[in-house]
Structure 1
Amino acid sequence: MSVYFYGCITLDGYLADKDHNLDWLYQTGTIEETGYDNFYEKMDITIMGRKTFNEILHMENPHLVYHKTENYVFTHAKELAVNGFKPVSGNIAEFVKNISSTKNIWIIGGTQILAPLLDNDMVDKMIIQIAPVLLGAGIPLFTQKEVLKRFYLEELNQYGQFAELVYSKCRN
């Protein structure tokens, strides 16, 4: 099993503005300008939080957004409004530990899902695209516990206005 974070942040490290708005991202570029399609083809499972899922609800044909993967949403809701997304709750780290070791898992969106996995040294690769935008405040990508975690830079790409950094976890 490999656990990936793949997402875009601003130059000052935010996933969204302070109101959880992503307009800054949509105004910067499109998914077609990135390596998204190649990345998604390698994924078996997506895991996201409710706020990220709410963004999907605003898309045209949300049931087709992640059509080839098993999709889990950490939420207190018992049901979700879109087919193909399963509500789950509990400890994210325990949930991921129980997934088959043959699966590639994409952590989508926010720090509430990512931070516990970083705290438990469970993120194998981070693919972070950086948009040429400064927000000054917002929802940061990293909020894990204050413990040194080392990654090494594998690759650097440019997609339109986006810089993409591909990091892998340092193995001891």
Structure 2
Amino acid sequence: MYASKQQLSREIGISTGCIHEMMVNNDLDFETAVDILLETKDRIGIPREKMISGLPVCIIDGRTYRTVQEVACEFHLSTNAIASYKNKNGYTGMLETLCAMQKETKECYVVDGEAKTCNELLKMGYTSSSYRQVPKKRIPRYPQLAGKDFVNNCVDAMKIYREVKEERMEQEQGIQPMM
């Protein structure tokens, strides 16, 4: 039992603003919002004594990313590229999206050992029929993701949050008073 919501907030390391935002955005009571946030925080692996003012999007190699924009900046991608790739391919988590983007390749043409696009060849004086004779190879569509590890020491915090919230909502709906 806590004397106030602020005392509980300090004890569990979740700001009252974060709890309030969860309540307003999801039409939840205080206790349910706290339960969801605390369970999510525990599953993510954030120590209870560490105060958070919001849930991170993900943790990659031990570094916490609070927004998609932070992830995009770190890996030299646009937020639109991440969002459209995620939505187009039906991914639900940031890490699975980045893993899939990492595997994505595109075809290019090789001229003097360098990868060139069709447009670059046309600018170099090739015609639409002559560039088809140039050798082709597949290269990473997102080379900035090459060699990055999005599996080990990584946590998809938003995916965990959605799972916890969904589990809690199912519990809430399953425990309805009998008439």
TM above 0.5, yes or no, is: no
Which structure has more relative contact order (CA 8 Å, sep 6+)? It is: 1
Please, what TM-score do these two structures have when normalized by structure 2?
0.26
Which entry has the higher C-alpha Rg, 1 or 2?
2
| Greater helix content | 2
Please, what TM-score do these two structures have when normalized by structure 1?
0.26
